[in-house]
Amino acid sequence: MRGRSLGSFSWDRFTPFLLIAPSIVLIVIFVYGFIGYTAFVSTTTWYGIAPDYTSAGLSQYVDLFGLPRFQADISNTIEFTVLFLAACILLGFGSAVLLDQHVRGTIFFQNIFLFPLAISFVVTGTVWRWIFNPNFGINLLLDDVHLGFLKSPWLADTRTALFGLVIAATWQMSGFCMAMFLAGLRAIPDELREAARVDGATEGRLFLHVILPLMRPITLSAVIILGHISLKIFDLVYVMTFGGPGFATDMPNLYGRGAAIAMVLLFMVALLIVPYLVWSLRQEVER
Amino acid sequence: MSAVRAVAGRRAFRVSRLVTYALLLVVAVFYLLPIYVIVATALKSFIEVSHTTPWQLPTAPSLSSFTDALSTLSPSFINSILLVAPATILSALLGSLNGYVLSKWRFRGADLVFTLLLFGMFIPYQSILLPLVLVLQKLQLYGGIPGLVLTHVVYGIPITTLIFRNYYAAVPSELIEAARIDGASVLGVYRHVLLPISMPGFVVVLIWQFTSIWNEFLFAVTLTLPDQWPITVALNGLAGSLLAHYEIQMAGALLTALPPLVIYVVLGRYFIRGLLAGALKG
Protein backbone atom coordinates (compact mmCIF):
# COMPACT_ATOMS: atom_id res chain seq x y z
CA MET A 1 0.00 0.00 0.00
CA ARG A 2 1.30 3.42 -0.96
CA GLY A 3 1.04 6.62 1.07
CA ARG A 4 -1.38 8.85 -0.83
CA SER A 5 -2.79 12.02 0.62
CA LEU A 6 -6.53 11.81 0.49
CA GLY A 7 -7.61 15.33 1.30
CA SER A 8 -5.32 15.64 4.33
CA PHE A 9 -2.17 17.75 4.47
CA SER A 10 0.05 17.30 1.47
CA TRP A 11 3.09 16.58 3.66
CA ASP A 12 1.28 13.58 5.08
CA ARG A 13 2.93 11.36 2.49
CA PHE A 14 6.25 12.17 4.13
CA THR A 15 5.05 11.34 7.64
CA PRO A 16 6.07 7.66 7.37
CA PHE A 17 9.62 8.70 6.58
CA LEU A 18 9.64 11.23 9.41
CA LEU A 19 8.44 8.54 11.80
CA ILE A 20 11.27 6.12 11.09
CA ALA A 21 13.92 8.75 10.40
CA PRO A 22 15.13 9.02 14.03
CA SER A 23 15.65 5.25 14.27
CA ILE A 24 17.39 5.06 10.91
CA VAL A 25 19.71 7.93 11.81
CA LEU A 26 20.53 6.34 15.16
CA ILE A 27 21.24 2.92 13.61
CA VAL A 28 23.30 4.40 10.79
CA ILE A 29 25.49 6.22 13.31
CA PHE A 30 25.59 3.72 16.19
CA VAL A 31 25.87 0.54 14.11
CA TYR A 32 27.34 1.30 10.69
CA GLY A 33 29.25 4.48 11.58
CA PHE A 34 30.73 2.94 14.71
CA ILE A 35 31.73 -0.27 12.92
CA GLY A 36 33.39 1.89 10.27
CA TYR A 37 35.28 3.77 12.96
CA THR A 38 36.41 0.55 14.65
CA ALA A 39 37.50 -0.82 11.28
CA PHE A 40 39.48 2.39 10.71
CA VAL A 41 41.13 2.21 14.15
CA SER A 42 42.12 -1.39 13.43
CA THR A 43 44.34 -0.08 10.63
CA THR A 44 46.18 2.44 12.86
CA THR A 45 49.03 2.15 15.35
CA TRP A 46 46.86 3.52 18.20
CA TYR A 47 48.36 2.16 21.41
CA GLY A 48 47.63 3.58 24.85
CA ILE A 49 45.20 6.26 25.95
CA ALA A 50 45.68 9.10 23.45
CA PRO A 51 44.28 8.54 19.95
CA ASP A 52 46.99 7.98 17.35
CA TYR A 53 45.80 7.60 13.78
CA THR A 54 49.14 6.77 12.16
CA SER A 55 48.36 4.22 9.47
CA ALA A 56 49.50 0.68 10.13
CA GLY A 57 47.83 -0.99 7.16
CA LEU A 58 46.84 -4.54 8.00
CA SER A 59 49.77 -5.13 10.32
CA GLN A 60 47.51 -5.35 13.39
CA TYR A 61 45.79 -8.33 11.81
CA VAL A 62 49.04 -9.95 10.72
CA ASP A 63 50.47 -9.58 14.24
CA LEU A 64 47.26 -10.83 15.80
CA PHE A 65 47.12 -14.05 13.81
CA GLY A 66 50.77 -14.66 14.63
CA LEU A 67 50.13 -14.62 18.38
CA PRO A 68 49.86 -18.11 19.94
CA ARG A 69 47.41 -16.70 22.46
CA PHE A 70 45.10 -15.41 19.74
CA GLN A 71 45.32 -18.71 17.87
CA ALA A 72 44.32 -20.44 21.10
CA ASP A 73 41.45 -17.96 21.46
CA ILE A 74 40.10 -18.73 18.02
CA SER A 75 40.32 -22.48 18.49
CA ASN A 76 38.70 -22.22 21.95
CA THR A 77 35.87 -20.17 20.53
CA ILE A 78 35.26 -22.66 17.75
CA GLU A 79 35.53 -25.67 20.05
CA PHE A 80 33.16 -24.04 22.53
CA THR A 81 30.66 -23.12 19.82
CA VAL A 82 30.60 -26.62 18.32
CA LEU A 83 30.17 -28.36 21.69
CA PHE A 84 27.59 -25.83 22.88
CA LEU A 85 25.54 -26.09 19.69
CA ALA A 86 25.64 -29.88 19.72
CA ALA A 87 24.59 -30.01 23.38
CA CYS A 88 21.77 -27.47 22.95
CA ILE A 89 20.39 -29.13 19.85
CA LEU A 90 20.49 -32.65 21.29
CA LEU A 91 19.01 -31.67 24.64
CA GLY A 92 16.57 -29.22 23.06
CA PHE A 93 15.32 -31.65 20.45
CA GLY A 94 15.19 -34.53 22.95
CA SER A 95 13.07 -32.57 25.39
CA ALA A 96 10.85 -31.25 22.60
CA VAL A 97 10.14 -34.82 21.44
CA LEU A 98 9.33 -35.82 25.03
CA LEU A 99 7.02 -32.84 25.47
CA ASP A 100 5.27 -33.60 22.17
CA GLN A 101 3.97 -36.93 23.54
CA HIS A 102 0.86 -35.24 24.96
CA VAL A 103 1.75 -36.15 28.51
CA ARG A 104 0.17 -34.50 31.51
CA GLY A 105 2.04 -31.48 32.86
CA THR A 106 3.52 -30.45 29.52
CA ILE A 107 3.22 -26.77 30.45
CA PHE A 108 4.83 -27.42 33.82
CA PHE A 109 7.88 -29.12 32.29
CA GLN A 110 8.07 -26.56 29.51
CA ASN A 111 8.25 -23.76 32.07
CA ILE A 112 11.06 -25.54 33.92
CA PHE A 113 13.06 -26.02 30.71
CA LEU A 114 12.66 -22.37 29.72
CA PHE A 115 13.14 -20.38 32.92
CA PRO A 116 16.98 -20.19 32.71
CA LEU A 117 16.54 -18.03 29.61
CA ALA A 118 15.07 -15.30 31.81
CA ILE A 119 18.19 -15.21 33.98
CA SER A 120 21.33 -13.14 33.47
CA PHE A 121 24.52 -14.85 32.33
CA VAL A 122 26.11 -13.19 35.37
CA VAL A 123 23.79 -15.11 37.71
CA THR A 124 24.38 -18.33 35.78
CA GLY A 125 28.12 -17.82 35.97
CA THR A 126 28.04 -17.09 39.70
CA VAL A 127 26.02 -20.21 40.47
CA TRP A 128 27.92 -22.63 38.24
CA ARG A 129 31.25 -21.36 39.53
CA TRP A 130 30.09 -22.52 42.95
CA ILE A 131 28.79 -25.84 41.61
CA PHE A 132 32.11 -26.46 39.88
CA ASN A 133 34.17 -25.54 42.94
CA PRO A 134 36.56 -28.54 43.00
CA ASN A 135 36.58 -28.93 46.80
CA PHE A 136 32.94 -28.34 47.63
CA GLY A 137 30.90 -28.59 44.48
CA ILE A 138 29.74 -31.25 42.10
CA ASN A 139 32.71 -33.53 42.80
CA LEU A 140 31.33 -34.36 46.25
CA LEU A 141 27.93 -35.15 44.74
CA LEU A 142 29.56 -37.45 42.22
CA ASP A 143 31.25 -39.24 45.15
CA ASP A 144 27.92 -39.63 46.91
CA VAL A 145 26.28 -41.26 43.90
CA HIS A 146 29.31 -43.49 43.21
CA LEU A 147 30.31 -41.71 40.02
CA GLY A 148 33.64 -40.64 41.48
CA PHE A 149 35.44 -41.41 38.21
CA LEU A 150 33.72 -38.36 36.69
CA LYS A 151 35.38 -36.08 39.23
CA SER A 152 37.44 -33.35 37.66
CA PRO A 153 39.09 -30.06 38.59
CA TRP A 154 36.53 -28.33 36.29
CA LEU A 155 37.23 -24.62 35.97
CA ALA A 156 40.60 -24.95 37.72
CA ASP A 157 42.15 -27.03 34.95
CA THR A 158 42.94 -25.90 31.44
CA ARG A 159 41.60 -29.06 29.84
CA THR A 160 38.26 -29.24 31.65
CA ALA A 161 37.39 -25.54 32.04
CA LEU A 162 35.85 -25.35 28.59
CA PHE A 163 33.51 -28.25 29.41
CA GLY A 164 32.38 -26.44 32.54
CA LEU A 165 31.51 -23.41 30.43
CA VAL A 166 29.67 -25.55 27.88
CA ILE A 167 27.57 -27.15 30.62
CA ALA A 168 26.65 -23.78 32.16
CA ALA A 169 25.85 -22.20 28.78
CA THR A 170 23.80 -25.23 27.75
CA TRP A 171 21.87 -25.04 31.00
CA GLN A 172 20.99 -21.47 30.18
CA MET A 173 20.25 -21.64 26.43
CA SER A 174 19.03 -25.15 25.54
CA GLY A 175 15.44 -24.22 26.40
CA PHE A 176 15.51 -21.92 23.39
CA CYS A 177 16.16 -24.90 21.11
CA MET A 178 13.44 -26.84 22.87
CA ALA A 179 10.92 -24.05 22.24
CA MET A 180 11.86 -23.85 18.55
CA PHE A 181 11.71 -27.62 17.99
CA LEU A 182 8.48 -27.97 19.94
CA ALA A 183 6.85 -25.28 17.78
CA GLY A 184 8.12 -27.16 14.72
CA LEU A 185 6.88 -30.56 15.89
CA ARG A 186 3.45 -29.16 16.70
CA ALA A 187 3.22 -27.61 13.25
CA ILE A 188 3.45 -31.05 11.59
CA PRO A 189 -0.11 -31.89 10.53
CA ASP A 190 -1.50 -35.10 12.01
CA GLU A 191 -2.64 -36.11 8.51
CA LEU A 192 0.99 -36.38 7.48
CA ARG A 193 1.76 -38.85 10.27
CA GLU A 194 -1.43 -40.75 9.55
CA ALA A 195 -0.66 -40.95 5.84
CA ALA A 196 2.78 -42.38 6.58
CA ARG A 197 1.26 -44.94 8.95
CA VAL A 198 -1.34 -45.95 6.39
CA ASP A 199 1.50 -46.49 3.94
CA GLY A 200 2.89 -48.97 6.47
CA ALA A 201 5.69 -46.91 7.99
CA THR A 202 6.75 -48.01 11.47
CA GLU A 203 7.08 -45.35 14.20
CA GLY A 204 10.86 -45.48 13.85
CA ARG A 205 10.75 -44.96 10.09
CA LEU A 206 8.14 -42.23 10.42
CA PHE A 207 10.48 -40.45 12.82
CA LEU A 208 13.57 -40.91 10.65
CA HIS A 209 12.09 -40.24 7.23
CA VAL A 210 9.26 -37.80 7.90
CA ILE A 211 9.82 -35.93 11.14
CA LEU A 212 13.59 -35.48 11.17
CA PRO A 213 13.81 -34.01 7.64
CA LEU A 214 11.09 -31.51 8.57
CA MET A 215 13.27 -30.31 11.45
CA ARG A 216 16.12 -29.30 9.17
CA PRO A 217 15.17 -25.62 8.69
CA ILE A 218 14.59 -25.26 12.44
CA THR A 219 17.97 -26.80 13.18
CA LEU A 220 19.54 -24.33 10.78
CA SER A 221 17.83 -21.39 12.51
CA ALA A 222 18.93 -22.71 15.90
CA VAL A 223 22.52 -23.05 14.69
CA ILE A 224 22.51 -19.46 13.44
CA ILE A 225 20.83 -17.88 16.46
CA LEU A 226 22.74 -19.85 19.11
CA GLY A 227 25.92 -19.77 17.05
CA HIS A 228 26.08 -16.02 17.02
CA ILE A 229 25.24 -15.87 20.73
CA SER A 230 27.98 -18.36 21.40
CA LEU A 231 30.57 -16.33 19.48
CA LYS A 232 29.66 -13.31 21.58
CA ILE A 233 29.56 -15.09 24.93
CA PHE A 234 31.58 -12.53 26.84
CA ASP A 235 29.57 -12.28 30.08
CA LEU A 236 29.61 -15.92 31.06
CA VAL A 237 33.32 -16.44 30.42
CA TYR A 238 34.17 -13.22 32.20
CA VAL A 239 32.17 -14.13 35.28
CA MET A 240 33.12 -17.80 35.47
CA THR A 241 36.83 -17.79 34.72
CA PHE A 242 38.13 -14.35 33.73
CA GLY A 243 39.62 -16.22 30.79
CA GLY A 244 41.58 -18.49 33.11
CA PRO A 245 43.08 -20.82 34.00
CA GLY A 246 45.98 -19.80 31.85
CA PHE A 247 43.94 -18.70 28.89
CA ALA A 248 42.15 -21.94 28.22
CA THR A 249 38.69 -20.41 28.19
CA ASP A 250 39.79 -17.00 27.11
CA MET A 251 37.97 -15.86 24.00
CA PRO A 252 38.89 -13.01 21.71
CA ASN A 253 36.42 -10.50 23.11
CA LEU A 254 37.96 -10.94 26.51
CA TYR A 255 41.43 -10.58 25.22
CA GLY A 256 41.96 -6.84 25.27
CA ARG A 257 39.69 -4.47 23.43
CA GLY A 258 41.74 -4.26 20.31
CA ALA A 259 39.75 -3.00 17.36
CA ALA A 260 41.28 -5.69 15.18
CA ILE A 261 40.03 -8.41 17.50
CA ALA A 262 36.57 -6.85 17.46
CA MET A 263 36.62 -6.81 13.67
CA VAL A 264 37.63 -10.48 13.49
CA LEU A 265 34.78 -11.28 15.84
CA LEU A 266 32.35 -9.20 13.77
CA PHE A 267 33.51 -11.00 10.66
CA MET A 268 32.87 -14.40 12.26
CA VAL A 269 29.37 -13.34 13.32
CA ALA A 270 28.63 -11.79 9.91
CA LEU A 271 29.66 -15.01 8.21
CA LEU A 272 26.79 -16.68 10.05
CA ILE A 273 24.21 -13.89 10.09
CA VAL A 274 24.45 -12.14 6.70
CA PRO A 275 23.42 -15.17 4.60
CA TYR A 276 20.53 -15.67 7.01
CA LEU A 277 19.38 -12.04 6.68
CA VAL A 278 19.72 -12.13 2.89
CA TRP A 279 17.72 -15.33 2.79
CA SER A 280 14.90 -13.92 4.91
CA LEU A 281 14.91 -10.68 2.87
CA ARG A 282 14.39 -12.75 -0.30
CA GLN A 283 11.52 -14.57 1.34
CA GLU A 284 9.92 -11.25 2.25
CA VAL A 285 10.20 -9.98 -1.30
CA GLU A 286 8.67 -13.18 -2.67
CA ARG A 287 5.69 -12.85 -0.36
CA MET B 1 10.42 -42.06 22.31
CA SER B 2 8.08 -42.52 19.36
CA ALA B 3 4.40 -41.80 19.38
CA VAL B 4 2.09 -44.54 20.45
CA ARG B 5 1.01 -46.83 17.64
CA ALA B 6 -2.66 -47.35 17.18
CA VAL B 7 -2.18 -51.11 17.28
CA ALA B 8 -0.01 -51.13 20.40
CA GLY B 9 -1.51 -52.63 23.53
CA ARG B 10 -2.26 -50.76 26.72
CA ARG B 11 0.77 -52.26 28.42
CA ALA B 12 3.22 -50.92 25.85
CA PHE B 13 1.38 -47.63 26.10
CA ARG B 14 1.92 -47.46 29.86
CA VAL B 15 5.58 -48.41 29.63
CA SER B 16 6.34 -45.75 27.04
CA ARG B 17 4.47 -43.18 29.16
CA LEU B 18 6.59 -44.12 32.18
CA VAL B 19 9.80 -43.84 30.18
CA THR B 20 8.72 -40.43 28.88
CA TYR B 21 8.00 -39.20 32.40
CA ALA B 22 11.25 -40.60 33.76
CA LEU B 23 13.27 -38.85 31.06
CA LEU B 24 11.36 -35.59 31.54
CA LEU B 25 12.11 -35.76 35.26
CA VAL B 26 15.84 -36.30 34.64
CA VAL B 27 15.96 -33.25 32.37
CA ALA B 28 13.92 -31.21 34.87
CA VAL B 29 16.43 -32.08 37.64
CA PHE B 30 19.26 -30.73 35.47
CA TYR B 31 17.45 -27.40 35.05
CA LEU B 32 16.34 -27.13 38.67
CA LEU B 33 19.61 -28.20 40.30
CA PRO B 34 21.22 -24.71 40.24
CA ILE B 35 18.08 -23.19 41.77
CA TYR B 36 18.20 -25.74 44.57
CA VAL B 37 21.89 -24.96 45.11
CA ILE B 38 21.23 -21.21 45.19
CA VAL B 39 18.44 -21.47 47.75
CA ALA B 40 20.13 -24.12 49.93
CA THR B 41 23.41 -22.19 50.05
CA ALA B 42 21.83 -18.77 50.57
CA LEU B 43 20.02 -20.01 53.68
CA LYS B 44 23.23 -21.25 55.34
CA SER B 45 25.67 -19.43 57.58
CA PHE B 46 29.25 -18.79 56.47
CA ILE B 47 30.56 -21.50 58.81
CA GLU B 48 28.06 -24.03 57.53
CA VAL B 49 28.88 -23.22 53.89
CA SER B 50 32.55 -23.93 54.50
CA HIS B 51 32.03 -27.44 55.86
CA THR B 52 28.96 -28.75 54.01
CA THR B 53 28.35 -29.54 50.36
CA PRO B 54 26.10 -27.31 48.25
CA TRP B 55 23.60 -30.20 48.16
CA GLN B 56 23.03 -30.51 51.89
CA LEU B 57 20.08 -28.60 53.29
CA PRO B 58 20.87 -25.94 55.90
CA THR B 59 20.56 -27.18 59.49
CA ALA B 60 19.50 -23.77 60.83
CA PRO B 61 18.13 -21.75 57.88
CA SER B 62 18.67 -18.03 58.29
CA LEU B 63 18.05 -14.98 56.12
CA SER B 64 21.14 -13.11 57.28
CA SER B 65 22.99 -13.64 53.99
CA PHE B 66 20.11 -11.88 52.24
CA THR B 67 20.45 -8.85 54.50
CA ASP B 68 24.20 -8.85 53.82
CA ALA B 69 23.71 -9.12 50.05
CA LEU B 70 20.97 -6.52 50.08
CA SER B 71 23.09 -3.98 51.95
CA THR B 72 25.68 -4.14 49.16
CA LEU B 73 23.31 -4.54 46.22
CA SER B 74 20.40 -2.23 47.06
CA PRO B 75 21.89 0.95 45.46
CA SER B 76 22.53 -0.94 42.23
CA PHE B 77 19.07 -2.50 42.39
CA ILE B 78 17.70 1.07 42.29
CA ASN B 79 20.12 1.93 39.46
CA SER B 80 18.82 -1.00 37.47
CA ILE B 81 15.23 0.14 37.92
CA LEU B 82 16.17 3.70 36.86
CA LEU B 83 17.86 2.17 33.81
CA VAL B 84 15.27 -0.40 32.81
CA ALA B 85 12.09 1.70 33.11
CA PRO B 86 12.93 4.52 30.65
CA ALA B 87 15.00 2.34 28.29
CA THR B 88 12.23 -0.25 28.00
CA ILE B 89 9.46 2.27 27.36
CA LEU B 90 11.40 4.41 24.87
CA SER B 91 12.62 1.45 22.81
CA ALA B 92 9.10 0.01 22.76
CA LEU B 93 7.67 3.30 21.43
CA LEU B 94 10.32 3.58 18.71
CA GLY B 95 9.82 -0.06 17.76
CA SER B 96 6.06 0.44 17.52
CA LEU B 97 6.39 3.44 15.18
CA ASN B 98 8.98 1.66 13.02
CA GLY B 99 6.94 -1.52 12.93
CA TYR B 100 3.88 0.47 11.81
CA VAL B 101 5.72 2.23 8.97
CA LEU B 102 7.62 -0.87 7.82
CA SER B 103 4.53 -3.09 7.74
CA LYS B 104 1.85 -0.66 6.54
CA TRP B 105 3.68 1.97 4.48
CA ARG B 106 5.92 -0.28 2.48
CA PHE B 107 7.81 2.27 0.43
CA ARG B 108 10.36 1.23 -2.15
CA GLY B 109 13.27 -0.42 -0.38
CA ALA B 110 11.37 -0.85 2.91
CA ASP B 111 12.50 -4.47 3.18
CA LEU B 112 16.11 -3.49 2.66
CA VAL B 113 15.85 -0.78 5.34
CA PHE B 114 14.33 -3.36 7.66
CA THR B 115 17.13 -5.86 6.98
CA LEU B 116 19.78 -3.20 7.58
CA LEU B 117 18.09 -2.33 10.89
CA LEU B 118 17.96 -6.00 11.86
CA PHE B 119 21.68 -6.49 11.35
CA GLY B 120 22.19 -4.22 14.37
CA MET B 121 20.67 -6.89 16.59
CA PHE B 122 23.28 -9.49 15.75
CA ILE B 123 26.54 -7.55 15.86
CA PRO B 124 28.98 -8.31 18.66
CA TYR B 125 28.90 -5.12 20.70
CA GLN B 126 32.66 -5.27 21.13
CA SER B 127 32.85 -3.96 17.57
CA ILE B 128 31.15 -0.65 18.49
CA LEU B 129 32.31 -0.28 22.07
CA LEU B 130 35.30 2.01 21.50
CA PRO B 131 33.48 4.70 19.45
CA LEU B 132 30.47 4.35 21.77
CA VAL B 133 32.61 5.23 24.79
CA LEU B 134 34.18 8.17 22.92
CA VAL B 135 30.79 9.54 21.81
CA LEU B 136 29.25 9.17 25.26
CA GLN B 137 32.25 10.99 26.74
CA LYS B 138 31.74 13.82 24.23
CA LEU B 139 28.07 14.00 25.18
CA GLN B 140 29.00 13.99 28.89
CA LEU B 141 26.95 10.83 29.28
CA TYR B 142 29.75 8.40 30.06
CA GLY B 143 29.74 6.70 33.46
CA GLY B 144 26.10 7.12 34.38
CA ILE B 145 22.66 5.66 33.87
CA PRO B 146 21.42 8.19 31.21
CA GLY B 147 24.19 7.13 28.81
CA LEU B 148 23.32 3.49 29.39
CA VAL B 149 19.63 4.28 28.75
CA LEU B 150 20.53 5.87 25.41
CA THR B 151 22.69 2.86 24.51
CA HIS B 152 19.96 0.33 25.29
CA VAL B 153 17.32 2.38 23.44
CA VAL B 154 19.47 2.51 20.29
CA TYR B 155 20.53 -1.13 20.27
CA GLY B 156 17.01 -2.17 21.24
CA ILE B 157 15.54 -0.68 18.04
CA PRO B 158 16.12 -3.77 15.83
CA ILE B 159 14.37 -6.33 18.06
CA THR B 160 11.48 -4.04 19.04
CA THR B 161 10.94 -3.09 15.38
CA LEU B 162 11.01 -6.76 14.39
CA ILE B 163 8.41 -7.78 16.96
CA PHE B 164 6.04 -4.90 16.14
CA ARG B 165 6.46 -5.34 12.40
CA ASN B 166 5.43 -9.00 12.68
CA TYR B 167 2.59 -8.03 14.99
CA TYR B 168 1.19 -5.28 12.73
CA ALA B 169 1.61 -7.40 9.60
CA ALA B 170 -1.35 -9.45 10.85
CA VAL B 171 -3.62 -6.38 10.96
CA PRO B 172 -5.73 -6.34 7.77
CA SER B 173 -4.78 -3.50 5.40
CA GLU B 174 -8.50 -2.85 4.76
CA LEU B 175 -8.75 -1.38 8.26
CA ILE B 176 -6.08 1.17 7.42
CA GLU B 177 -7.55 1.96 4.00
CA ALA B 178 -10.98 2.53 5.54
CA ALA B 179 -9.51 4.96 8.07
CA ARG B 180 -7.66 6.75 5.26
CA ILE B 181 -10.86 7.17 3.28
CA ASP B 182 -12.44 8.64 6.41
CA GLY B 183 -9.71 11.28 6.25
CA ALA B 184 -7.30 10.00 8.93
CA SER B 185 -3.66 11.10 8.57
CA VAL B 186 -0.73 8.69 8.78
CA LEU B 187 -0.36 9.51 12.46
CA GLY B 188 -4.12 9.42 12.91
CA VAL B 189 -4.23 5.86 11.62
CA TYR B 190 -1.53 4.90 14.10
CA ARG B 191 -3.24 6.58 17.03
CA HIS B 192 -6.83 5.57 16.35
CA VAL B 193 -6.51 2.23 14.55
CA LEU B 194 -3.25 0.52 15.50
CA LEU B 195 -2.41 1.84 18.96
CA PRO B 196 -5.70 0.66 20.53
CA ILE B 197 -5.01 -2.92 19.41
CA SER B 198 -1.28 -2.86 20.18
CA MET B 199 -1.47 -3.97 23.80
CA PRO B 200 -0.38 -7.61 23.28
CA GLY B 201 2.51 -6.44 21.09
CA PHE B 202 3.58 -3.96 23.76
CA VAL B 203 3.43 -6.64 26.45
CA VAL B 204 5.79 -8.90 24.46
CA VAL B 205 8.21 -6.06 23.71
CA LEU B 206 8.17 -4.57 27.21
CA ILE B 207 8.83 -7.95 28.82
CA TRP B 208 11.56 -8.78 26.37
CA GLN B 209 13.34 -5.44 26.76
CA PHE B 210 12.91 -5.42 30.53
CA THR B 211 14.50 -8.85 30.83
CA SER B 212 17.36 -8.25 28.38
CA ILE B 213 18.30 -4.85 29.80
CA TRP B 214 18.04 -6.01 33.40
CA ASN B 215 20.31 -8.98 32.63
CA GLU B 216 22.79 -7.18 30.37
CA PHE B 217 26.42 -7.01 31.43
CA LEU B 218 28.85 -5.89 28.69
CA PHE B 219 27.49 -2.35 28.20
CA ALA B 220 26.84 -2.00 31.92
CA VAL B 221 30.37 -2.94 32.94
CA THR B 222 32.07 -0.74 30.33
CA LEU B 223 29.84 2.35 30.44
CA THR B 224 29.15 2.91 34.15
CA LEU B 225 31.24 3.89 37.17
CA PRO B 226 30.83 2.04 40.52
CA ASP B 227 28.21 4.31 42.13
CA GLN B 228 26.05 3.94 38.99
CA TRP B 229 26.53 0.20 38.55
CA PRO B 230 23.44 -1.76 37.53
CA ILE B 231 22.77 -4.95 39.47
CA THR B 232 24.60 -7.43 37.22
CA VAL B 233 27.86 -5.51 37.54
CA ALA B 234 27.37 -5.13 41.28
CA LEU B 235 26.72 -8.88 41.64
CA ASN B 236 29.92 -9.65 39.81
CA GLY B 237 31.75 -7.17 42.02
CA LEU B 238 30.25 -8.76 45.13
CA ALA B 239 31.40 -12.22 43.99
CA GLY B 240 34.89 -10.83 43.46
CA SER B 241 35.16 -9.12 46.84
CA LEU B 242 33.55 -11.87 48.95
CA LEU B 243 35.26 -14.78 47.27
CA ALA B 244 34.67 -17.43 49.95
CA HIS B 245 31.27 -16.16 51.05
CA TYR B 246 29.23 -18.32 48.74
CA GLU B 247 26.12 -17.86 50.91
CA ILE B 248 26.16 -14.08 50.23
CA GLN B 249 26.97 -14.62 46.54
CA MET B 250 24.02 -16.98 46.16
CA ALA B 251 21.67 -14.61 48.02
CA GLY B 252 22.86 -11.84 45.68
CA ALA B 253 22.36 -14.05 42.64
CA LEU B 254 18.82 -14.81 43.76
CA LEU B 255 18.04 -11.11 44.29
CA THR B 256 19.44 -10.30 40.84
CA ALA B 257 17.42 -13.04 39.17
CA LEU B 258 14.21 -12.27 41.06
CA PRO B 259 12.58 -9.49 38.96
CA PRO B 260 12.94 -11.32 35.60
CA LEU B 261 11.87 -14.60 37.23
CA VAL B 262 8.73 -13.03 38.70
CA ILE B 263 7.85 -11.65 35.28
CA TYR B 264 8.57 -15.02 33.69
CA VAL B 265 6.31 -16.81 36.16
CA VAL B 266 3.46 -14.31 35.74
CA LEU B 267 3.73 -13.55 32.00
CA GLY B 268 5.78 -16.47 30.64
CA ARG B 269 3.64 -16.85 27.53
CA TYR B 270 4.59 -13.40 26.29
CA PHE B 271 8.23 -13.94 27.19
CA ILE B 272 8.38 -17.02 24.97
CA ARG B 273 6.86 -15.05 22.09
CA GLY B 274 9.60 -12.45 22.38
CA LEU B 275 12.15 -15.24 22.55
CA LEU B 276 10.99 -16.86 19.34
CA ALA B 277 10.81 -13.47 17.59
CA GLY B 278 14.60 -13.53 17.74
CA ALA B 279 14.39 -16.40 15.28
CA LEU B 280 12.77 -13.92 12.83
CA LYS B 281 9.59 -15.88 12.25
CA GLY B 282 7.43 -14.90 15.24
Distance CA B29, CA B52 (A): 21
Q: Which domain holds residue B105?
A: 64-277
In a domain, B95, yes or no: yes
Best of A2, A4, A23 to disrupt the B interface (most B CBs within 10 Å) is: A23
pLDDT band at A253 (very low <50, low <70, confident <90, very high): very low
pLDDT of residue A242: 61
pLDDT band at B34 (very low <50, low <70, confident <90, very high): very high
A49 touches chain B (CB under 8 A): no
Asked whether the beta carbons of residue A22 and residue B120 sit closer than 8 angstroms, the reply is no
In a domain, B241, yes or no: yes
Dihedral of alpha carbons B144, B149, B152, B153, sign: negative
What was the ipTM of the complex prediction? 0.88
In a domain, B109, yes or no: yes
Q: What is the pLDDT of residues B205-217, one digit of tens each?
A: 999 999 999 999 9
Statement: residue A285 has pLDDT above 70: no
Task: Give the distance from residue B103's alpha carbon to the nearest chain A alpha carbon, in angstroms.
Answer: 9
A95 touches chain B (CB under 8 A): yes
Which has the higher per-residue pLDDT, A67 or A137?
A67
pLDDT of residue A8: 47
Asked whether the beta carbons of residue B115 and residue A280 sit closer than 8 angstroms, the reply is yes
What number is the average pLDDT over the span B57-77? 91
Reduced 3-state DSSP string for chain A = CCCCCCCCCHHHHHHHHHHHHHHHHHHHHHHHHHHHHHHHHCCECCCCCCCCCCECCCHHHHHHHHCHHHHHHHHHHHHHHHHHHHHHHHHHHHHHHHHCCCCCCHHHHHHHHHHHHHCCHHHHHHHHHHHCCCCCCHHHHHHHCCCHHHCCCHHHCCCCHHHHHHHHHHHHHHHHHHHHHHHHHHCCCHHHHHHHHHCCCCHHHHHHHHHHHHCHHHHHHHHHHHHHHHHCCHHHHHHHCCCCCCCCCCCHHHCCCCHHHHHHHHHHHHHHHHHHHHHHHHHHHHC
Whole-prediction pTM:
0.88
Q: What is the pLDDT of residues A141-194, one digit of tens each?
A: 777 776 666 777 777 676 778 888 999 999 999 999 999 999 999 988 888 888
What domains, with CATH codes, occur in chain A?
A: 67-286 (1.10.3720.10)
Instruction: Return the CATH number at B203.
Output: 1.10.3720.10
Q: What is the pLDDT of residues B241-264, one digit of tens each?
A: 877 788 999 999 999 999 999 999
Apex A130 CA angle, A128 and A136, nearest 5: 130
In a domain, B42, yes or no: no
pLDDT band at B109 (very low <50, low <70, confident <90, very high): confident
Asked whether the beta carbons of residue B249 and residue A203 sit closer than 8 angstroms, the reply is no
In chain A, residues with a C-beta closer than 8 Å to the C-beta of B116 are 27, 32
A263 touches chain B (CB under 8 A): yes
Statement: residue B56 has pLDDT above 50: yes
In a domain, B183, yes or no: yes
Closest CA to A219 of A93, A101, A79: A93
In a domain, B193, yes or no: yes
In a domain, B159, yes or no: yes
Q: What is the pLDDT of residues A85-124, one digit of tens each?
A: 999 999 999 999 999 988 888 889 999 999 999 999 999 9
CB-nearest to A225 from B31, B187, B278 is B278
Nearest CA in chain A to B248: A126
Please count the structural domains in chain B: 1
